[in-house]
């Protein structure tokens, strides 16, 4: 099994956390987003969208981080990343989707570069853009988090795999996380787990 990713990609970070929590061994393959490796023909022949991550398993390649995590959940059901209770399972997905579908796409590298290169938005403007969408998302997530230590109870779920990378990125952009004590508590509980700590961007082979 191979995971094509980039050390600082939030989406790849999610999948690394899921793989680590499930104890699934894989070979990391770096796709340098800054250098433009994601647009190379060799990579797009595997993943036509030209995004990371992509999971290669048994000669087949799957893109999109949440689809990959759900695939891992079905192939390696223990430990589960989706709760047994239907409502809790939906809640975990709801938090994951809020980050992966509503927040991250507005703040990823391609969007920030477009704001800079095509629209001429300066650094202060890009920072304000980033903070706007983080604030909207984190306010909503903070409001629905239940008694922890994790996002949806006593075990990590797909929600936590998405929340940790988004908190990491918020800190990179100097977002004040004081208004989100539940979120920061969940993040602290997650990063204390060895499998999650091993997925941190700074510990990847392509980190710089």
CATH of the domain at 53: 3.40.30.10
Specify whether 104 is located in the same domain as 188.
yes
If DSSP codes are grouped into helix, strand and coil, which group holds residue 64?
coil
Kindly state the greatest CA–CA separation across the chain.
48
Number of alpha carbons in the 13 Å side-chain half-sphere of residue 43: 23
Domain edge (last residue) among 79, 113, 144: 79
The label of the residue with tokens 């983080």 reads 134
Count: domains in the chain: 2
Domain that holds residue 48: 2-79
Beta pairing, strands 60-63 & 27-30: unpaired
Query: 7: which 2 tokens?
Result: 């050390």
Angle at 107 between CA 101 and CA 111, to 5 degrees: 105
Within a domain: 142: yes
pLDDT of residue 113: 80
Specify whether 125 is located in the same domain as 108.
yes
| Helix-then-strand count for the chain, H and E | 10, 4
The pTM assigned to this predicted structure is 0.93
pLDDT of residue 44: 94
Domain edge (last residue) among 79, 102, 120: 79
Give pLDDT tens digits for 153-201.
Answer: 999 999 999 999 999 999 998 999 999 999 999 999 999 999 999 999 9
Within a domain: 207: no
Residue pair 73/63 in contact (Cβ under 8 Å)? The answer is no
pLDDT of residue 104: 85
Specify whether 98 is located in the same domain as 188.
yes
How many whole angstroms separate alpha carbon 146 and alpha carbon 17? 21
Domain edge (last residue) among 79, 100, 129: 79
Q: Of 25, 51, 26, 23, nearest to 37 (Cα)?
A: 51
pLDDT of residue 123: 86
Angle at 21 between CA 94 and CA 201, to 5 degrees: 85
Within a domain: 203: no
CATH number at residue 98: 1.20.1050.10
Specify whether 124 is located in the same domain as 178.
yes
Residue ranges in 23-176 assigned as alpha helix (H): 41-44, 65-75, 86-97, 104-107, 109-117, 123-144, 158-172
pLDDT of residue 6: 95
Give every residue of the chain whose pLDDT is below 50, as ranges.
Answer: none
Specify whether 99 is located in the same domain as 33.
no
């Amino acid at each position: 099994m191979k995971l094509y990713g980039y050390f600082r990609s939030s989406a790849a970070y999610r999948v690394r956390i899921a793989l680590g929590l499930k104890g699934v061994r894989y070979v990391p393959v770096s796709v340098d987003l800054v250098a433009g490796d994601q647009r190379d023909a060799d990579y797009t022949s595997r993943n036509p969208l030209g995004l990371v991550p992509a999971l290669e398993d048994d000669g087949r390649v799957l893109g999109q981080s949440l689809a990959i995590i759900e695939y891992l959940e079905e192939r390696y059901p223990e430990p589960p990343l989706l709760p047994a209770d239907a409502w809790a399972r939906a809640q975990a997905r709801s938090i994951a989707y809020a980050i992966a579908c509503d927040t991250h796409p507005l703040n990823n590298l391609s969007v920030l570069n477009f704001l800079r290169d095509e629209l001429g938005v300066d650094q202060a403007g890009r920072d304000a853009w980033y903070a706007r969408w983080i604030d909207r998302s984190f306010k909503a997530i903070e409001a629905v988090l239940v008694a922890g230590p994790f996002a949806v109870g006593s075990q990590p779920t797909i929600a936590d795999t998405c929340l940790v990378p988004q908190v990491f990125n918020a800190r990179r952009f100097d977002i004040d996380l004081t208004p989100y004590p539940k979120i920061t508590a969940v993040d602290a509980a997650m990063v204390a787990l060895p499998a999650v700590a091993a997925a941190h961007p700074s510990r990847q082979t392509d980190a710089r």
